[in-house]
Structure 1
Amino acid sequence: MKLREDARAEGLRLLDWWASHLVDDCGGFYGEVDADDRPVPEASKSIILNTRLLWFFSAMAGKGDARAAGLARRAADYIRTYFHDAEQGGLYWLLKADGRPEDTRKQAYAQAFAVYAFAEYYHATGDAAALTFARDLQALIEAKYWDSERGGYIEALNRAWNPPADQRLSDKDLDAPKTMNTHLHVLEAYSRLHGVAPTEDTRAALYRILTVFLDRFVAPDGHLRLFFDMAWNDLTLSISYGHDIEASWLIWEAAEALDDKALLERARPIVLALAGTARREGMSEGGAFSYEKSFDGHTDPDGEWWEQAEALVGFVNAWQMTGEANWLEAAEKVWAYTKTQYGAGGVSEWTWYAASASKDKIYKAGQWKCPYHNGRAMIEVARQLRKT
């Protein structure tokens, strides 16, 4: 199938770009590469970029790529040496370019990405210390972030494990203590850790986060609710089409990892409803995937690169679940649009926005631009289509 071959080729091409543009001779990886493919040596280094680099290089190393294995080892060593708080545990949010701590807050989201990345690194290398690191971080998430009174995971803590004045993950987010985005990536991380090194503890943790996600964040209208206060009062102001479609396949992945018949039966209609509303409301006739729609009716039609990548995986997953051709057709349409508008299949990393969008150019690599959404999409699509 051509889409499968395209995905395999694009995964290798993305590896080439990230391997040749990010290595910092002063240690680890550059914190930023600008829109014209030039490194920014003075840029701060974020835990999100570094854990996503570790995940992608490890996933490619797991396919036998020796260069990726070396880069994964470099990423793992840098995270454990510089981002890890040896005194109080957990991972810092941001480092200066020279590796000194710059922002020492500890987002649950960041700890989860490290679980995800080190589980993948263990899977690729068999490094027992990486598995211990991942398990210790999962135990830390459970001990520090779980709300034992009302359930769910709180968003952030400071270095000393106290609530910070501002819990936001980014400037786009509400200052809310419980968010869909963090829960989604705890779910993803726990799925992978259970998949590569299952224990009764990993199973129980995965079952709990999946149940919380289905109970709290999935709404009857086929969309996710995004922000809540500590008592689970809904603070959501918009629909995120990209997260709807991303959650659809990550929910199914978690349910399959648990292999629980009742949970699979519960998850199936939810997964297809999320994918269906995302396709119906968020995708244009030309294959573009929108960013979001606010509850007051305003729609931002200029999708970012990551929504296109997640739509590709989500639609292929729905096709695998149902066998209905319209899902595969939707995936192929998104892929064609992504090649035309975001530079997929070209000579560089994908652009942040479509070429037709009236937006300023943004960096190719940085805190929120990593080889994760698009790199993972290529790996996942190739894997899914191998079943056919």
Structure 2
Amino acid sequence: MRLLNSFRQLLQNGGLLCLLSLSQVGFSQSISAERKRIATEMERSIRQEMLNKWYPLAVDTVHGGFLSTFTYDFKPTGPQDKMIVTQARHTWTTAKAAERYPSVAHYKANARHGFHFLRDVMWDKEYGGFYTLVDRAGKVQGPGNKEAYGNAFGLYALSAYYHQSGDTAALALAKKSFGWLEQHSHDPVHKGYFQHLRRDGTPIKRDATVASTSDLGYKDQNSSIHLLEAFTELYAVWPDPLVRQRLNEMLQLVRDVITSPKGNLVLFFQPDWTPISFRDSSEAVVLKHRYIDHVSFGHDVETAYLMLEASHALGLKNDAKTRAVGKRMVDHALANGWDKQVGGFYDQGYYFKDKSGGGPSGMTIIDESKNWWLQAEGLNTLLLMADLYPNDPMAYFEKYKRLWTYTQTYLIDHQHGDWYEEGLDKDPQRQTGNKGHIWKAAYHTYRALTGCVDRSGRPTH
């Protein structure tokens, strides 16, 4: 019998939110009218403004896998290159939707279709591992180099599809994928995983020829948090001792090494986990390297959830340390990256050395756009914090309500469906921007909204 003890599966199957009992917070059996109202609105949006827009439209019936790029009104556009991250996220989403909405037959077929593309096209049959990018017909783009980040999502999708389907071929490939990461990407000396790999799995080292603005050869927070997520999903269907060891290793790295004492994630590191920072440089140099070094409020609030999910999957009862760090991350994002006038989280901030900034602790906002995935993750994590700390001065539930109002007003396209890439209050031109591309599918929004609905009592209609 497949293991159903992952945090996300527990929620989706109507179980109690165990983290609440761990924090000794009484979870009321009666759900407030506001909570019910929001859950009903979210459930309706999931079904009528999200899933039905993407599927089965995104299914590529000619070349396999999923189409990646869509106009604002959901017309396929462009060459439709296929990245492992997008293909895996579509497979994961349809597998989860097949479990959640069993009466909608095409979700199950879409997930199986996605798995076949991952297995038959994206997986390198000679060297192993998932390719990063292929064209629409499946031809590998470039030298075939690979990334831990993309392979994490491949593993994530395989685990979810096996849970949904029971297809042992998916579990076999998931085990092979984990083994490939273990053999090639895992760092046995300093722990964690090398992000950039050649086609044969050899880690790519940084040297003097690599531009200072490039992340090539660095370890990073983004691959680390999604490896954490992938191992959580894998451990639910394959509770292997080594998977548990790596899941625990990644939880400790993310919580204790990658997260700063202030509560934000450091983005990039040397292989020995020495942080990469340009704070001692001029403002011009900092901004030139902003991709490498900034405060990403979205990753911070997302990671708070992923850490708590991993802790639960590991069965770490009374894990006060993980809860405390997660809370610190959310509080830091609210104190420094929350728009107090309109609501919503800004994209990027920075602690300049010689500037006090506009925030209470010297933070300067360097990108005030409000991307879609950040707000989605914010909804999920704010509600979790509201349940864990209902009487906290940060007033998580009030901000959750305000963020949902913001999302309804500035992010969800109630005419054409799905979410704009950026909030229209800051980026009104996004109203006619593409709804889908290789970095934008339904994964963040589906995961976040279903998490909120399930913790609020799923509507029966």
Q: Which band: TM-score by shorter chain? A: over 0.9
- Structure 1 residue 210 corresponds to structure 2 residue 210: no
CA distance in 2, matches of 1:32, 1:101: 18
Where does residue 138 of structure 2 map in the other structure? 99
Aligned to 2:94: 57
**Mean CA deviation greater in 191-200 or 330-339:** 191-200
1:332 counterpart residue number: 401
Q: TM-score, normalised by structure 1?
A: 0.93
SS of residue in 2 equivalent to 1:261: coil
Runs of 5+ unmatched residues, structure 1:
none
Q: What per-residue deviation string (whole Å, max 9, x for no partner) do you get for residues 318-365 of structure 1?
A: 112122372111111111101111125553121111122246544211
Matches within 5 A, 1:72-83: 72-83=111-122
Deviation (angstroms), 1:173: 6.7
The alpha carbon displacement at 1:46 in A equals 1.0
Matches within 5 A, 1:1-388: 1-13=36-48, 14-27=50-63, 28-40=65-77, 42-63=79-100, 64=102, 65-103=104-142, 104-164=144-204, 174-236=215-277, 237-261=293-317, 264-285=319-340, 286-296=342-352, 297-324=364-391, 326-343=395-412, 345-358=414-427, 360-361=429-430, 362-386=433-457
How many residues are paired up?
384
In the TM superposition, residue 278 of structure 1 has moved relative to its aligned partner by 1.2
Which consecutive residues of structure 2, in runs of 5 or more, have no partner in the other structure? 1-35, 278-292, 353-363
Which has the larger displacement, 197-206 or 243-252?
A: 197-206
Q: CA RMSD in A?
A: 2.2
Note if contact 1:23-1:29 (Cα within 8 Å) is conserved in structure 2.
yes
Cα 1:166–1:232 shift into 2, 3 Å = closer
Could you tell me whether the CA contact under 8 Å between 2:84 and 2:122 is conserved in 1?
yes
Q: State the percentage of identical aligned residues.
A: 27
CA distance in 2, matches of 1:173, 1:381: 37
CA distance in 2, matches of 1:234, 1:164: 18
Distance 1:82 1:88, change over 3 A: same
Contact 1:176 1:228 in 2 (8 A): no
Structure 1 distance, partners of 2:41, 2:67, is: 28
**2-side partners of 1:113 and 1:306: how far apart?**
16
* TM score, norm. by length of structure 2: 0.79
Contact 2:185 2:201 in 1 (8 A): no
Q: Deviations over 1:277-325 (max 9, x none)?
A: 1122111122221001123334211111000001001101111212237
Q: Which amino acid aligns with 2:457?
A: R
Deviations 1:183-220 (A, max 9, x none): 00000011111123323232222111111212211111
Instruction: Give the 3 Å change call, closer, same or farther, for CA 294–269 of structure 1 in structure 2.
Output: same
Relative contact order: is structure 1 or structure 2 higher (C-alpha 8 Å, sep ≥ 6)?
2
2:196–2:217 contact (8 Å) kept in structure 1: no
Q: Does the 8 A contact of 1:112 with 1:189 survive in 2?
A: yes
Preserved CA contact (<8 Å) 1:248 1:275? yes
Shift of 1:172: 8.9
Q: Deviations over 1:229-263 (max 9, x none)?
A: 1122111421000011000111001001111236x
Whether contact under 8 Å (1:21, 1:33) holds in the other structure is: no
